[in-house]
Amino acid sequence: MNESVILQLDRVVRTYKQADSKLEVIRNASLTVAAGELVGLVGPSGAGKSTLLHVAGLLEMPDGGDVSIAGRACGAMSDGERTEIRRNEIGFVYQFHHLLPEFSALENVMLPQMITATSRRTARNRAEELVASVGLAERAGHRPARLSGGEQQRVAIARALANEPRLLLADEPTGNLDAQTAEEVFELLLDAVRGRGLAALIATHNLDLAAKMDRIVRLEDGELVAA
């Protein structure tokens, strides 16, 4: 595999049991995303975009095919090995920020680092840099309830970058924001990804925003096709 390829999906299949039948949500999906490349994932609601991201992010096991992260095939890995890959190589941004309400913006960005045994001082210094990079230095001490929706999502982006991942997966990261805020947050996300040379797969319904990425793939009837 090309060393620059960070995410590779190889004929991935994901099915769910539905009463007495099986629903094949993802079928033979193949995709590569290289370092520094932003790929938009589009498709109608219910097409399986979130499922595909969960499989790509090692949150769900495929029923067929394999997922490789930075050249490492993950299908035969133990749960512990997959957890380590998620923690160290992958950053996640969701439509709903999922910040911990009892912690400040800064602390929310520190926590993923401290889980990896990073010292508190180092975690705090990096969190301060990241929070400042998303324009929230003056709001770092505020808890999520005191931040706007756009500010909360900026913190979520900073948190996703906390452990210096090589792959960023985002599921409708602006879907819960008004049009102007969505564009601002999306531009910040693109700048952050490009500035760090990450591979990124970003699901969105907003075709105008998707057009700003390097290429677009469409999930259609469970299969990935170039859009």
Q: Domain 5-99+166-226 carries which CATH code?
A: 3.40.50.300
Round the CA-based radius of gyration of the chain to a whole number and report it.
17
Residue type, 2: N
Please give the chain's pLDDT, 227 residues, in tens.
Answer: 556 899 999 999 888 887 777 887 888 889 999 998 999 999 877 778 889 999 999 998 888 899 999 888 888 888 888 998 988 899 998 877 788 999 999 999 998 898 888 889 999 999 999 999 888 898 899 999 999 888 898 899 899 999 999 999 998 887 777 888 888 888 888 888 888 889 999 998 888 888 888 999 998 888 888 86
DSSP secondary structure letters along 161-226: TTT--SEEEEESTTTTS-HHHHHHHHHHHHHHHHHHT-EEEEE-S-HHHHTTSSEEEEEETTEEEE
The domain segmentation of the chain, as residue ranges, is 5-99+166-226
CB 44 within 8 A of CB 203: no
CB count, 10 Å around CB of 61? 14
